[in-house]
Chains A and B, each alone.
Chain A
Amino acid sequence: MTAPSKVELEGYRADVSAWLKENRPPVPDFILPLTFMEVGTDAQFDYLRDWQHKCYEAGYVGASWPVEYGGGGMHQSFQSVAAREMAAQNVPIMLNAIGLNWAGPLLLDIGCEADQARYLKGILTAEDIWCQGFSEPDHGSDLGNAQTKADRDGDEYVINGSKIWTTHGSFAKYMILLARTDAEAASKYRGLSFFLMPMCIDGVETVPIKKLTGEHGFTQTFFTDARIPAKCLMGEENAGWGVAMRTLEYERGARSGQGNSYTMSTPDFSRIFELAKTVMREGRPAVEDPVIRDKLVQFMIEARAIELNSQRQNISPLIQDSPQSLPLQWKLAWSEFILRLNEFAISLQGTKGAYYLGEPDAVDGGSWHRGYLNAFSATIGGGTSQIQRNIIGEHVLNLPKS
């Protein structure tokens, strides 16, 4: 497919922009999740599912996915434009993140036709919510050591074990699951297989986890002799590690795939400026304090650097020596930035920084505190920042394994 011209893309952006302005849903009387990982209540879930569905009907979700599977059949850059415009207008996020950004792109890349026909449209419409079963209680960063078992029994696999940090666990119809099919394999990585696992069957139980914020968001998922058809296996048996790695590359931004949906809203800098203007320091607005000003500028330089990196990674003469360098550092840079930006916004609030969610006098309803605590989900999940530094050190700088 040939890339569209700048004029076409600008026209499309203007359409998306106008539609969003017209159709933006009313502000609810509960706090909206800033990222897909924060959906904790039925009210939040219903609101966001309706919103994704509405955006899908308008053609702004899955614009580049094939028409036969419910997509728009357009060039991928249109989808990026739609996602960017959603972020720019700071509208509510797209709910079905695991489906849109991981399971869907995976199915499009390496799925069989039957699976594509079966799963893709439901991802776009938000009819079928997806979750991810990778981490286990005892195996977080050491994903290759996953112990949840999938034993072949005739035309079925029998799943036993437990997964943790399952985003959307209690809402999901399907899970992308990494499970051990060969406990005797020579290497721990070789005994793993990848499944498209139905969640609404006997033997699958999800238990909500109370997060550090005090809210619910993730579940722990327990499998007790849960039987699934053998055709749920994706790829070859015992070749699941490669599939999981491909999925993580979408997550770390190293492989663009057909994802690129708007599933995390960006903190609104203008609100931080507002805060800096209203909060007083020694009788003057904080924004007049030279140290505060310098901090604000540092955050702006950093935010822009992350944005510019994602532009430069598409300019091949400027990344020749190490094409993976920029994509691999996105997750680390972004998640750490968000964490520190939220922390700074709390520090700006003076005495009111002590308030929390639920306190009527809390600044912005306590959303910076919640944002800060929730931001750890991204600096820990998907490989901690420390693991990310190992990955960059080993894969970009060619340093030996730690």
Chain B
Amino acid sequence: METGGTITFSEEQTDLLEMAENFCRDKSPIDRVRALMEDELGYDTQVWQQVADLGWLAIAIPEAYGGVGLGLAEVVPVVEQMGRRMMAGPFVSTTLAVQALLVGGTEVQKQAILPELAAGACATLALSEDNGDWDLENVAACASGGGAEILLSGVKTLVADALAAKWILVSLLYEGRPRIAILDTSTLEEGAFRRETLIDETKRSYQFSLNGIKIEKDDFLDFDHTRETFDHIHLAAALLISAEMCGGARSVIDYTVEYLQTRKQFGKVIGSYQALKHPIVDAHIGYEQARSHLYSAASNFTRQGEGEISTRMAKAQAGDAFSYAADRAIQFHGGFGFTYDCDAQLYRRRSIWAENMWGDVIYHRKKLADLLL
């Protein structure tokens, strides 16, 4: 039968997994998650500093730019554990900005920016627009004019963690083609960002009005690698969101199983009823399969062809597994599940958010059909 991909797991990954598991559990208990939902910035800057001190932002940055010199395969266990504890912060957005720079940045940009990002500065991506399209090359925002001053116009949406970011990578139509430019947020005027209301209240994203912003030609990433950069961002994002989703699926199953082990109705613990037991087992199996796909994608991410296949499979399987587990979690908590106090809603909201970021299940399966059939 057609199979592919091999899971490998290094000592570095083992150490990072264990460290992240302990760190995220300790720093992001559920009452802290709920408290930060009320916070404007949305994450704990002290914890973020500790993340930076641990060197996790430097994991996938080459040593030449002040990083550790590993890859996304080593970032995956960290993001999985962050997702498991719904730990807020600009880790994924910054990591994706790093990936964009690594593939598409000029040498000057890499040398100027990557060492700061390795040390804990934040960056993010401004790629989405009102069209709601997951295709990153469907860009309407414009950059016009030549020479020293290039004028931007248009609105980007779902710019994650923009308030924390020192740099923003923006996709723009320039001379008729989608390009990526990097903006220093300290040059932006007040009011450039409008916070969006998201279904996942632990997340922060913003609409970003580009109107009136001026850039220089040197602010563009390398034109020769634009297509490659879009492709890489898309897959890197799918990989990391899959990791977040796997962590979330694990947690929501644990949360629900605990309820099924203790809640009694009709004189029996409800987890003894097969109408509840069998679906939660199915959710667990879905999660385990998603986790295997995730670590296969992590292991094969850099392989030509196989990297894309395994990553899209990971996102598709994680989407199905997380959505099902979180949906059933609400249902199996009964009346309590219908309340804001029940954590099931947090996971279901997270799963809907994650499903709609970087391509949903049907989108990735469509891409897989074109790759495999």
Contact = CB atoms under 8 A, between A and B. Distances in A.
A309 B1 CA distance: 15
B373 A308 contact: no
Interface in B204-240: none
B313 A304 contact: yes
B269 to A, nearest CB: 5
B277 interface: yes
A304 B4 contact: yes
B60 interface: no
A399 B285 contact: no
A359 interface: no
Contacts of A266: 1
From DSSP, what is the main secondary structure of chain B's interface residues?
helix
B246 to A, nearest CB: 11
Contact of A329 (B273, B280, B285): B285
B292 A309 contact: yes
Given A267-B1, A399-B271, A305 B317 contact: yes
Nearest to B284: A397
Interface string A256-286: 0000000000111110010010000000000
A396 B13 CA distance: 25
A312 B260 CA distance: 28
Given A293-B369, A304-B5, A311-B7, A393 B17 contact: no
B280 A315 contact: no
From DSSP, what is the main secondary structure of chain A's interface residues?
helix
Interface residues of A, number: 46
A390 interface: yes
A262 to B, nearest CB: 13
A304 B3 contact: yes
Contacts of A401: 272
Nearest to A321: B250
Contacts of B5: 304, 308
A333 interface: yes
B9 A318 contact: yes
A266 B282 CA distance: 23
Nearest to B253: A397
Nearest to A310: B292
B317 to A, nearest CB: 6
Contact of B269 (A293, A306, A311, A400): A400
Interface centre among B269, B292, B373 (most CB of A within 10 A): B292
Interface string A384-402: 0010011011001111111
B205 to A, nearest CB: 29
A297 interface: yes
Given A294-B365, A326-B288, A308 B2 contact: no
Given A393-B278, A397-B257, A309 B373 contact: no
B362 interface: yes
A317 B11 CA distance: 9
B257 A399 contact: yes
B284 A300 contact: no
Interface in B247-265: 253, 257, 260-261
A304 B294 CA distance: 12
Given A393-B281, A397-B257, A312 B295 contact: yes
Contacts of A304: 3-5, 293, 296, 313
Given A301-B293, A315-B9, A397 B281 contact: yes
A317 B280 contact: no
Contact of B282 (A298, A315, A389, A396): A389
Interface in B22-41: none
Contacts of A317: 9, 13-14, 17-18
Interface string B331-358: 0000000000000000000000000000
A276 B372 CA distance: 13
Given A294-B365, A307-B3, A393-B271, A300 B372 contact: yes
B92 interface: no
A233 interface: no
Given A317-B18, A390-B274, A293 B292 contact: no
Interface centre among A266, A325, A402 (most CB of B within 10 A): A402
A110 B366 CA distance: 51
A315 B296 CA distance: 12
A302 interface: yes
A392 B280 CA distance: 10
Interface centre among A297, A325, A392 (most CB of B within 10 A): A297
Contact of A300 (B18, B295, B296, B368): B368
Contacts of A269: 1-2
Given A309-B289, A393-B277, A297 B272 contact: no
Interface in A346-402: 386, 389-390, 392-393, 396-402
Interface in B155-182: none
B291 A318 contact: yes
Contacts of B288: 309, 325-326, 329
B372 to A, nearest CB: 6
Nearest to B277: A393
Interface string B303-339: 0000000000100110000000000000000000000
Contacts of B293: 301, 304-305, 308
Contact of A318 (B271, B295, B316): B295
A107 interface: no
Nearest to A307: B3
Given A300-B2, A301-B316, A397 B373 contact: no
B6 interface: yes
A332 interface: yes
Given A396-B284, A402-B274, A312 B292 contact: yes
A316 B73 CA distance: 17
A249 B298 CA distance: 31
Nearest to A270: B2
Given A325-B288, A392-B284, A399 B1 contact: no
A239 interface: no
A389 B5 CA distance: 28
Contacts of A300: 2, 313, 368, 372
Contacts of A396: 281, 284
5 contacts: A329-B284, A332-B285, A393-B278, A397-B284, A402-B273
Closest 10 CB pairs of A and B: A305-B289, A308-B292, A399-B271, A293-B369, A393-B277, A400-B272, A317-B14, A389-B278, A389-B281, A307-B3
Interface of A: 266-270, 273, 276, 287, 290, 293-294, 296-298, 300-309, 311-312, 315, 317-318, 325-326, 329, 332-333, 386, 389-390, 392-393, 396-402
Given A329-B284, A400-B268, 10 more contacts: A269-B1, A290-B366, A297-B365, A300-B368, A305-B293, A305-B317, A318-B17, A389-B277, A399-B271, A402-B273
